Amino acid sequence: MNNPHKMRTGIDRVWHAFGYSMQGLSAALRFESAFRQEAAIAVVMLPAAFWLGRNWIEVALLTGSVLLVMIVELLNSAIEAVVDRVSLDLHELAKRAKDYGSAAVLLALLWCGGVWCSVIVQRWWA
């Protein structure tokens, strides 16, 4: 059986995809406290990146690192939602999947922190 959503083409497909993306962001802001916290911090950090960065490369690294954290958090939340949908029972594979997602968020946060610290050090102490 064909999925009617897969039969959309052109602008209609793009418009519906955009709508689903907005629904995903809305759901993340409603249901995921970690994403809400990161979004609140991003509201401050993204404009600060344009002030702090001395050239487009630094601005791209600063903004990109913040957006990377948010992207990885969304993927982690998706993994957690799927695992919980399948079963709420304790299972080693479920734990491993959630731990991998959490580790990915940690690495993104460390990358973001490293980029911001590097640019700050270069700006004021180099």
The values of phi and psi at residue 2, to 5°, are -80, 140
CA-nearest of 126, 125, 124, 119 to 48 is 119
Is 73 one of the annotated active-site residues of the chain?
A: yes
What crossing angle do the helices spanning 33-52 and 10-31 adopt, rounded to 10°?
Answer: 110
**Active-site choice (32, 38, 73, 80):** 73
* N-term to C-term CA, the chain: 63
Active site residues: 73
